Amino acid sequence: MKAGSNLEKVLTSGYFAATGELGPPKSADPQVIRHKASLLKGHVDAVNITDNQTAIVRMSSIAVGIMLLQLGLEPTIQMTCRDRNRLAIQSDLLGAAAHGVKNLLCLTGDHLRFGNHPTARGVHDLDSIQLLAVVKGMRDDKKFANGEEIETVEPRFFIGAAENPFADPFDYRPYRLAKKIAAGADFIQTQLIYNVPKFAEFMKRVCDLGLDKKVYILAGVGPIKSVGMARYMQSSVPGMDVPEEIVSRLKGVPKDQVRREGIKQCADIIRQVRELPGVAGVHVMAIEWEEAVPEILELAGLQPRPQV
């Protein structure tokens, strides 16, 4: 065991993992967290807490992570390279570990241009791969990024990274994944998958390189609420690949049933990706629609969650 988190135990025991996601509020309101946590509690192996997602200021990922621990859920905190330099990152991770946070997702972060403070300075002292190496170095070598020894208790995280199988250059993506594993990733969460055949091709290449034996890959999935949202994701979200049949399936049902169809579609995608060699679990991203998660996982045959 590297960190001994529930997620790590589920994966190392050979179960097909299911994780969720919780978007912190744009306020200091703890009620929002309690409510969203109650929707996810017991239904997922761990809950990702986004770190100023899409470069919009929200309650701190680590602070919400601590709240989740108090509420009896396992958090996966996110850390981006956009808002903090290597000092701030390491300092915050020491604090998170001291509070009992055990899963960490290392990200570059969405560019400031997409957020609500587009005139801020982006930090980018490290990139996500260097961040992985720093976190692994703190855990396995008991060393800070500068090589200095951590004299007493080192932070021990089950380390995650993201990969987008749909970004370009497509041929390079599996090699970039390999680089993330070499840097320190124990598990991977992918970008939202709607184009399953393309993801299958990516996974085939990943397996051909033997990477599925070195890392746990969680396929990213998420329900689409409306035809408008599907169209928006199709045309305006960088790095997203939403095939036309995803949109037309939602268009094919009466308006009051689109949400229901979105949930069913998400469960179907889970069933499809679960069949692919090398996929160790799913990560369900239903931001601002957390109540959909238990139903999606039920339909996908992933309830109840294993007790490990």
Partner 1 sequence: MIKAKQKPIAEIKEMIAPYKKVLILGCGTCVTISFAGGEKEVGLLASSLRIASTMEGQDKTFAEATVQRQCEWEFIDAVADQIKGADAVLSMACGIGVQALAERYPDKVVLPAVNTTFLGMAVEHGVLVERCRACGDCILGLTAGVCPIARCAKNLLNGPCGGSQKGKCEVNPELDCAWQLIYDRLGRLGQLDRLAKIMVPKDWSKDYDGGPRKIVREDLKL
Q: What is the β-pairing status of strands 216-221 and 187-192?
A: parallel
Candidate ranges 65-73, 104-112, 209-217, 254-262; the one touching partner 1 (CB under 8 A):
104-112
Nearest to 131 by CA among 66, 166, 82, 98: 82
Cβ proximity to partner 1, 72 vs 238, nearer residue: 238
What is 57-68 written as a DSSP string? --S-HHHHHHHH
Q: What residues between 111 and 140 interact with partner 1 by CB under 8 A?
A: 111, 113, 122, 124-130, 133-134
Which of these segments, 27-35, 95-103, 158-166, 265-273, binds partner 1 (CB under 8 A)? 158-166
Q: For residue 7, what are the contacts with CB-CB under 8 A and spacing of at least 6?
A: 17, 19, 45, 46, 74, 76, 102, 103, 158, 187
Of these, 20, 23, 65, 109, which contacts partner 1 (CB under 8 A)?
109
The stretch near partner 1 (CB under 8 A) out of 21-29, 68-76, 109-117, 222-230 is 109-117
Residue 73 CB, nearest approach to partner 1 (Å): 27
Distance CA 167, CA 202 (A): 11
Residue 275 CB-density burial (10 A; 0-12 exposed, 13-18 middle, 19+ buried): exposed
State which of residues 168, 256, 275, 288 lies at the interface with partner 1 (CB under 8 A).
168
Question: Does 108 help bind partner 1 (rule: CB under 8 A)?
Answer: yes
Determine the Cα–Cα distance for residues 117 and 158; give it in Å rounded to an integer: 31
127 burial via Cβ count (<10 Å: 0-12, 13-18, 19+): middle
Q: Which residue, among 192, 221, 228, 234, has the nearest Cα to 293 in the 3D structure? A: 221
Given the rule CB under 8 A, which of 14-22, 60-68, 174-182, 247-255 is the region that contacts partner 1?
174-182
Kindly state whether residue 305 participates in binding partner 1, applying the rule CB under 8 A: no
183 near partner 1, judged by CB under 8 A: yes
Beta carbon of residue 131, minimum distance to partner 1 (angstroms, whole number): 9
**Cβ distance to partner 1 smaller for residue 36 or 82:** 82
Distance CA(59)–CA(53), nearest Å, equals 10
Q: Which residues within the stretch 239-258 sit at the binding site for partner 1 (CB under 8 A)?
A: 239
**Shortest distance in whole angstroms from residue 167 CB to partner 1:** 5
Nearer to partner 1 by C-beta: 5 or 128?
128
Task: Give the nearer residue to partner 1 in terms of CB position, either 165 or 294.
Answer: 165
Is 89 or 224 the residue whose CB approaches partner 1 more closely? Answer: 89
Q: How far apart are CA 212 and CA 302, in angstroms?
A: 21
Rounded Cα gap, residues 248 and 254, in angstroms: 12
CA angle 288, 250, 110 (to 5 degrees): 40
Rounded CA-CA distance 111/35 in Å is: 29
List 156's β-bridge partners, or say none: none
Candidate list 81, 105, 217, 279; residue touching partner 1; CB under 8 A: 81
In terms of CB distance, is 103 or 191 closer to partner 1?
Answer: 191
Q: Distance (Å, rounded) from C-alpha 154 to C-alpha 96?
A: 12
How many binding residues for partner 1 (CB under 8 A)? 34
Q: Which is nearer to partner 1, 122 or 306 (CB)?
A: 122
Binding site for partner 1 (CB under 8 A): 81-82, 86, 108-109, 111, 113, 122, 124-130, 133-134, 145, 162-164, 167-169, 172, 175-176, 178-179, 182-183, 191, 238-239
